[in-house]
Amino acid sequence: MPIYLTIFLNHITIPSITLQPFLHTFIAYILIPLILALILQWTSIKSTKAQKCLHITNWFPEIIMALVLFVIVSSQIQKITSHLTIIYMIIPIYIIYLLIAPLLGYLSGKLFNLEINTNRTLAFSSGTRNALVVLPITFALPNNISNIATIVVVTQTLVELLGEIIYIKFIPKLIRR
């Protein structure tokens, strides 16, 4: 993200961004949970207790994501409603992406002669990104940038969730062979 910010921000804003908050946020909210998940996966190969834990946690992603999204949107609603012009500018970009990405996924599946279910999965997953993964990093930005970055990430997530609902209905109908 610091590289992207360097590209997109002006030379006046860049000095106010320090690397330490990014590293702290990355380690605490991305790296440590990833390592814990890998440890659980690895230990579940030999341990029945770890296998049971892994089986139980299979149900968590949807529930936790819904809860996290509710908490985030609730906590950021003030920022979102005070920057509606930004939202109006970025939503069309996300909608265009939602239309193009599955098509590119489908064409890639055709190019590599994937079976129908795999091609559907590729088309579906092409249109979804994990914006919530970078959300903690947006909180490490200076306030003036953090507000806008947070709005962009939360809006992207909400648009993608709506897009996924549409994908679930239409991708199986559109990709038949």
Boundaries of every domain in the chain: 79-174
pLDDT number for residue 113: 95
Count the residues in the chain.
Answer: 177
The answer to whether 136 and 25 are in contact (CB under 8 A) is yes
In Å, how far are 83, 85, 137 from 80, measured between CA atoms?
5, 10, 18
151/11: higher pLDDT: 151
Q: pTM of this prediction? A: 0.72
pLDDT number for residue 110: 94
Residue 25 pLDDT > 90: no
Amino acid (one-letter) located at 28: A
pLDDT tens readout for residues 48-98 = 998 888 888 777 777 877 787 888 888 888 888 888 998 999 999 999 999
pLDDT number for residue 140: 81
pLDDT tens readout for residues 116-165 = 999 999 999 998 877 777 888 888 888 778 888 888 888 898 898 889 88
pLDDT number for residue 16: 62
Contacts of 68 (CB under 8 A, 6+ apart): 132
Q: Taking residues 21-36, what's their average pLDDT?
A: 87
